[in-house]
C-alpha cells in the first residue's frame, strides 16, 4: 500500500516542531533535514503499533487519485517525479551494466498505489513495469495501461518475488510504502530481493524521514505507519545485507513536511 509525503508530527505524542535543524548524516549535497520533532517516549516500539488491516482499510477508503494518494499534496508529484528521474540518471551514468541511452528491461513499482510513479516515471525508463500494491481500487486505475506488466495485489510483507515475480528486475522501486512494514518485516523483505535483482541493478528506497533526537520512529495512527530516521534506515539496510551506493535528498518539498530521501542499494558482494 502506498503512503504519502507526511506533515511533521503534531499529534498527542509529540510537541510542535522546534526551529532546530540538523544535517542528515552522509548528505553529499549539503542539504539540511527538516525540523526535528521531539516526541515523548513509550515502552512499546513505534513499529509494534503497525496494523496492516487498519492500513488497508484506510487506503481502501482513499480516493484513487493523485490528490488522494498524496494526502492532499498533489503539487508534490511533479517535483517528486523529476527528482526520481534525476536520481536514476545519475546512477546510470556511473553504471557499467545499465548506462544511459537504452531503456531498462524490467522494473517493479512496490507499494505502487494508483501507479503515479509508474506512469510518470518508471514506464518511461523501463520496457515493462510490474506492480505490487494490495489495494485493488488503486491497481484498477493502472491495470492494462501501457508498459504495465504483472499486477500483484499483496502487501510487501506477503510478496515473495522469487516465487511470484517475473524478474529479473533491473530496478526495484520502493516509495512511500516501507513505513507500513515493521523493522523486522522490512529487513526480511529486503533480504528476499537479491535473487530477482539483475546484475548491476538497483533497489531504490525513497521515503519520508524524521530527525528524532533519540533516533526513534514516529508512529502515525492515521494510516498505521512509521516515519523512520536516516540513521535507522541505514541500520536496517546493513542488517539486511545491503550496501548503500548512492543517496540524495529530494529538493523542493513544501515547508512543514518531513524530508524525503532516496537511497540506492545493492546486495553486498555484488557490483
Q: Judging by beta carbons within 10 Å of its beta carbon (0-12, 13-18, 19+), is residue 162 exposed, middle or buried?
A: exposed
CB 13 within 8 A of CB 192: no
Residues 186, 178: contact at Cβ < 8 Å? yes
Q: What is the reported pLDDT for 1?
A: 66
Per-residue pLDDT of the chain (271 residues; tens, 9 = 90+): 667 888 775 443 433 332 222 223 334 444 443 344 444 445 689 999 999 999 999 999 999 999 999 999 999 999 999 999 999 999 999 999 999 999 999 999 999 999 999 999 999 999 999 999 999 999 999 999 999 999 999 999 999 998 876 789 999 999 999 999 999 999 999 999 999 999 999 999 999 999 888 888 999 999 999 999 999 999 999 999 999 999 999 999 998 999 999 999 999 986 6
Contact 145, 115 (CB under 8 A): yes
* Predicted pLDDT of residue 271: 60
User: C-alpha grid cell for residue 82?
Assistant: 523529476
- Residue 268 is given by DSSP the state T
Q: How far from chain centre, in Å, is Cα 42?
A: 26
216 a known binding residue? no
Among 48, 49, 70, which residue's Cα sits nearest to residue 59?
Answer: 70
> Comparing C-alpha atoms, which of 90, 168, 162, 94 is closest to residue 127?
168
- Is residue 177 within 8 Å of residue 110, measured between CB atoms? yes
pTM, 2 dp? 0.87
CA–CA distances in Å: residue 64 to residues 52, 148, 165? 19, 17, 25
Map grid coordinates 524521514 to a residue. Answer: 209
d(CA 110, CA 234): 19
pLDDT at residue 129, as a whole number? 97
**Which residues, including other chains, have CB under 8 Å from residue 116's CB and lie 6 or more apart?**
66, 69, 70, 77, 81
115 is an annotated ligand-binding site residue? no
Task: Determine whether 181 is exposed, middle or buried from the number of CB atoms within 10 Å of its CB (0-12, 13-18, 19+).
Answer: buried
Contacts of 30 (CB under 8 A, 6+ apart): 23
- The answer to whether 3 and 176 have CB atoms below 8 angstroms apart is yes
Residue 116, marked binder: yes
153 contact partners, CB below 8 Å, separation of at least 6: 133, 134, 135, 136, 139
Amino acid at each position: 500500500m502506498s503512503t504519502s509525503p507526511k506533515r511533521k508530527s503534531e499529534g498527542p505524542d509529540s510537541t510542535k516542531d522546534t526551529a532546530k535543524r540538523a544535517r542528515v548524516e552522509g548528505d553529499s549535497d549539503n542539504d539540511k533535514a527538516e525540523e526535528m520533532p521531539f516526541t515523548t517516549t513509550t515502552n512499546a516500539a513505534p513499529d509494534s503499533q503497525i496494523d496492516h488491516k487498519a492500513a488497508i482499510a484506510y487506503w481502501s477508503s482513499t480516493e484513487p487519485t493523485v490528490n488522494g494518494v498524496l494526502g492532499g499534496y498533489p503539487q508534490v508529484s511533479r517535483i517528486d517525479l523529476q527528482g526520481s528521474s534525476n536520481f536514476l540518471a545519475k546512477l546510470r551514468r556511473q553504471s557499467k551494466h545499465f548506462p544511459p541511452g537504452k531503456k531498462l528491461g524490467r522494473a517493479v513499482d512496490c507499494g505502487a498505489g494508483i501507479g503515479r510513479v509508474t506512469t510518470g516515471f518508471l514506464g518511461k525508463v523501463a520496457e515493462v513495469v510490474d506492480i505490487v500494491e494490495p489495494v485493488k481500487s488503486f491497481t484498477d486505475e493502472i491495470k492494462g495501461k501501457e508498459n504495465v506488466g504483472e499486477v500483484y495485489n499483496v502487501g510487501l510483507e506477503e510478496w515473495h518475488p522469487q516465487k511470484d515475480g517475473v524478474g529479473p528486475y533491473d530496478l526495484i522501486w520502493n516509495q512511500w510504502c516501507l513505513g507500513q512494514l515493521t523493522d523486522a518485516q522490512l529487513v526480511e523483505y529486503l533480504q528476499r530481493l537479491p535473487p530477482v535483482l539483475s546484475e548491476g541493478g538497483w533497489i531504490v528506497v525513497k521515503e519520508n524521514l524524521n530527525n528524532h533526537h533519540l533516533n526513534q520512529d514516529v508512529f502515525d495512527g492515521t494510516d498505521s505507519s512509521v516515519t523512520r530516521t536516516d540513521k535507522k534506515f541505514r541500520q536496517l539496510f546493513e542488517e539486511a545485507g545491503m550496501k548503500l551506493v548512492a543517496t540524495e535528498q529530494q529538493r523542493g518539498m513544501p515547508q512543514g513536511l518531513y524530508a524525503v530521501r532516496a537511497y540506492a542499494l545493492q546486495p553486498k558482494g555484488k557490483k
